[in-house]
Amino acid sequence: MPDDDSGEPSGGSDYGMATNLSGETARVSALVGLSGLVEAGTLLEATPECLVIAGADGQIVFANHRVEELTGFRRDELIGHPLSVLLTSGLGAVEDSRFEGTCRRSSGETFPVEVHLGSIDAPEHLAVVTLRDMTELQAGRDAKFEAEAKYRALVDELPAVVYLDPVDENLDSIYVSPQVTTLIGITPDEWLTDPYAWRHHVHPEDIDRVWDEYVLAYNEHSTLNHEYRMVHEDGSVKWVLEQASTITDEHGEPWLIQGVIFDISERKKAEEQIAFLAYHDKLTGLPNRALFEEMLELAIARGRRHELGVGVVFLDLDNFKLVNDSLGHAAGDELLIQLADRLRGCTRETDLVARQGGDEFLLLLSDMERGSSALPGVDSALMVAESVVIRVHEALQEPFHLNGTEFFATASLGVSLFPQDASDGGTLLKNADAAMYQSKKRRPGGHVVFSGAGEDPLQKLSLTTRLRRAVELQHWVLHYQPIVNLSDGSMKGVEALVRWREPNGGLVPPGEFIPLAEELGLIDAIGEWVIEEFSMQDRLWRQQGLDLQISFNLSPRQLRSAQLSEKIISKLRDAGVESRNVVVELTESAAMADPDHTQQILAELHAWGLTLAIDDFGTGYSSLARLKHMPVDILKIDRVFIRDVDTDSDLSGMVRAMIQLADSLGMTPLAEGIETQGEYEFVKANGCKLAQGFLFSRPVPAAEIPALAARPLIAG
């Protein structure tokens, strides 16, 4: 029995139960509703009331022992006979009512009774008739207490806790059956003297709901009938079913509240097992779509109440059919099982991973904070969703082992968020599905589309956040731009240029993130990845018979990293790359910022056989004296001088001078940014040895290099 410490409603009892519902009717329907748990008859017998139940046709289907006592009829003389055997007058009222009538005893004599007529609609229409001997009523409450004593004797035997409380909150609790000790481990006395005994044994997760239900029953004057968990003194959790209703006194005033609490733990356990089977996918053991939808509804309800965000991620494998077709269905099943495991591993504990069916999976991200995260302007729910998506992609980086073969799976994902994209579960699911479909269409494999606003919400994340994550997950790609021998148009080598691949599949050019990466101290990590990546590429190209020099860029900040040259050299050596095939590019301004230090590093790298290039030459303020003492092999003339060099006489003069300067210092000149035939012809005619530019080729993925290297990049 809840104690109203919330202060509402105050309606008469210390637990706020309905006080003016139609007592008998409600009680009987409550009791009849118990069938299946205990024999309904047991409880109907337990009541001190004189009770008759008739079917829709007016035939008596039940009469309790009190009827026998009152009328002298044996039950078998009543059951199957019309109600009129008992009631000689007053019948005919169809609706629930209370009236005075005449009752017949088996001896034939009649006596006045008060009749309560109630009805129960389910499972079939039943009339519930309670009879009260008017003479008995005159004896006052004493009779009631006598009846109560019998009632007590009976309920003590019930496999349930029965309690009886006065409606008047000032009176002590009247009775609780000794079974309370089995249920929650306290004595009846403790129950009767501690007004909080009940509340303290209701499971903390259930108390709010249970209390709401009490309040509802009170407000709607209905019988209480609910299930919740109680916690035994020993800590064990019991599921209970509680039913309660009011009993009115002879004036029709609410008098007592009686309730029954059944231990239904066993039934719950069975139900849970059945529910598990109905709500889970047999193959993977994951929740199925039905359970997902229910959890989604709950998550949205919580999200609404506590202003939290909810996300739905729809995942579809891109190449599942291939597995089934080539490796067989058993391998397909195995893939799904392994995938389910990985998905479980990359979500938060509170998230739900479900199998939608086939090769489609659903992730439910609930209870996410809304609004901006610690980083201003970054939606925190979006950030959580994005990091889950990135973890999913990461989880797919490793091959699956099926039938002794390795298989790489890719997936397309769609994300939809509550409240920004949809306000209900159905729409959220639909949006996530549509977004997944979009992403598959755009480019299957590691692609994500967020539903909503059209514009990619990833753009809303701050660059800083995205970049940090990219570093963690190495979301980098190298493109290679050919460097051309001007003498014959052949490919001398390539420059490795980094790009950042965002989770949405877009490539970010280095100009947009290298400066920030330097500022955040992330450049070293990127630089290391670049070396590992092109080293691996070098090996592959050599296996294909391609002999190319690979240039890579060092940023000014990297020069400050301790033991830079050792690190570079050991990485190259570990990868088996010959140092003479590697060119280190350093911008002129970087080289001149701390020339002593730079000179030392360049000397070390040079000693290991690496080729050195000064990048963007002409844009910094070189001290020629310094440059002369640096072991530089290549001078890359910046593209600001090359643009229109063939038509602009100032530029022609400068570029000619730079080519001569390089020659005089023993360096090979390289013209960057050749875009036109005129620019190409000018630099070639003026003795430049090497060139690079869109005219020959843009930077391209590694896979395109072999074809480009097969023939001259430029005619003549």
Contact residues for Ca ion (CB under 5 A)? 553, 585, 615-616, 672
CA atoms within 13 A on the CB side of 400: 25
Helix or strand or coil: residue 627? helix
Residue 186 vs 583, nearer CB to ligand C2E? 583
- Partner from Ca ion, ligand C2E, none binding residue 675, C-beta < 5-8 Å depending on class: ligand C2E
Cβ 607 to Ca ion, closest distance in Å? 22
Ranges within 573-632 binding ligand C2E (CB under 6 A): 585, 615-616
Residue 408 vs 694, nearer CB to ligand C2E? 694
Q: Tell which one of 77, 604, 675, 704 touches ligand C2E (CB under 6 A).
A: 675
Residue 692 binds to ligand C2E (criterion: CB under 6 A):
yes
Query: How many residues touch ligand C2E (CB under 6 A)?
Result: 23
Residue 263 vs 616, nearer CB to ligand C2E? 616
Give the whole-angstrom CA distance, residue 416 versus residue 399. 28
Give the whole-angstrom CA distance, residue 102 versus residue 631. 123
Is residue 378 within 8 Å of 465, Cβ to Cβ? yes
- Partner from ligand C2E, Ca ion, none binding residue 514, C-beta < 5-8 Å depending on class: ligand C2E
Length of the chain as a residue count: 716
Residue 351 vs 585, nearer CB to Ca ion? 585
Q: Tell which one of 118, 309, 618, 699 touches ligand C2E (CB under 6 A).
A: 699
483-486, Cβ contacts within 8 angstroms, sequence gap of 24 or more? 483/549, 483/551, 483/670, 483/690, 483/691, 483/692, 484/690, 484/691, 484/692, 484/696, 484/713, 484/714, 485/689, 485/690, 486/683, 486/684, 486/688, 486/689, 486/690, 486/691
Find the largest Cα–Cα distance for the chain: 139
To the nearest 10°, the Cα dihedral for 459, 462, 463, 464? -160
From 25-33, 133-141, 269-277, 692-700, give the range in contact with ligand C2E by CB under 6 A: 692-700
Cβ 564 to Ca ion, closest distance in Å? 17
Q: Tell which one of 2, 188, 493, 673 touches ligand C2E (CB under 6 A).
A: 673
Q: Tell which one of 259, 590, 693, 714 touches ligand C2E (CB under 6 A).
A: 693
Is residue 620 within 8 Å of 648, Cβ to Cβ? no
Is residue 518 within 8 Å of 556, Cβ to Cβ? yes
Residue 314 vs 641, nearer CB to Ca ion? 641
Is residue 364 within 8 Å of 300, Cβ to Cβ? no
Kind and range of the H or E run holding 578 = none
Cβ 692 to ligand C2E, closest distance in Å? 6
Q: Tell which one of 71, 179, 246, 555 touches ligand C2E (CB under 6 A).
A: 555
Residue 504 vs 555, nearer CB to ligand C2E? 555
Residue 530 binds to ligand C2E (criterion: CB under 6 A):
yes
Burial of 582 (0-12, 13-18, 19+ CB in 10 A): buried
Residue 510 binds to ligand C2E (criterion: CB under 6 A):
yes
Ranked by CB distance to Ca ion, the top (closest) residue is 585
Residue 368 vs 550, nearer CB to ligand C2E? 550
Instruction: Retrieve residue 625's tokens.
Output: 């004296």
Alpha helices in 233-362 (DSSP H): 265-279, 289-306, 320-327, 329-345
- Partner from Ca ion, ligand C2E, none binding residue 510, C-beta < 5-8 Å depending on class: ligand C2E
- Partner from ligand C2E, Ca ion, none binding residue 425, C-beta < 5-8 Å depending on class: none
Is residue 37 within 8 Å of 240, Cβ to Cβ? no
Residue 402 vs 530, nearer CB to ligand C2E? 530
Residue 694 binds to ligand C2E (criterion: CB under 6 A):
yes
- Partner from Ca ion, ligand C2E, none binding residue 669, C-beta < 5-8 Å depending on class: none
Cβ 692 to Ca ion, closest distance in Å? 8
Phi, psi of 598 (to 5 degrees): -60, -45
Other CB atoms within a 10 A radius of the CB of residue 381 amount to 23
Is residue 128 within 8 Å of 119, Cβ to Cβ? yes
Q: What does the binding site for ligand C2E look like in residue numbers (CB under 6 A)?
A: 481, 497-498, 509-511, 514, 530, 552-555, 585, 615-616, 639, 673-675, 692-694, 699
